[in-house]
Amino acid sequence: MARVLVADDEPGIREFVGDVLRLDDHDVVEAEDGRVAARKLDERGFDLVITDLKMPHLDGLSLVKKVKAEQPEVEIIVMTAHGTVDSAVDAMKLGAFDYLQKPLGGPDELRLVVARAIER
């Protein structure tokens, strides 16, 4: 079981990811934007952060920078519906473990990437 922070401004995606991970007995905290996610990161520790790339108030790349600067042991998965090769490269250079394109392929794809990130 891992402590996972899910940050996405789309309620349906956020709830889907949270529900899938809770079924696997992970402790999941949800955040509706980057600023809320940053506050939650300051309040408690997480093993994994799953973040959308484009969010109001604080975007996913800024969140990746914050996590890696303050808690470098935390793994990060970036998700986006607006993915480009450049944004994927930027996320990985900043320390993201993986980069997922929305819509997600389904619960099994998510579980596989999360399991690999937590294992690391």
Q: For 25-85, what is the HEC assignment?
A: CCEEEEECCHHHHHHHHHHCCCCEEEEECCCCCCCHHHHHHHHHHHCCCCEEEEEECCCCH
The predicted pLDDT at position 120 comes to 84
Q: Give residue 92's Cα distance to chain centre.
A: 13
Given a cut of 90, whether residue 77 has pLDDT beyond it is yes
Task: Give the C-alpha separation, 108 to 82, whole Å.
Answer: 22
Q: pTM of the entire structure? A: 0.95
Given a cut of 80, whether residue 62 has pLDDT beyond it is yes
| 24-33 pLDDT, tens digit each | 999 999 999 9
Q: Which of 24, 73, 17 is nearest to 48 (CA)?
A: 73
The predicted pLDDT at position 83 comes to 66
For the chain, the average pLDDT equals: 93
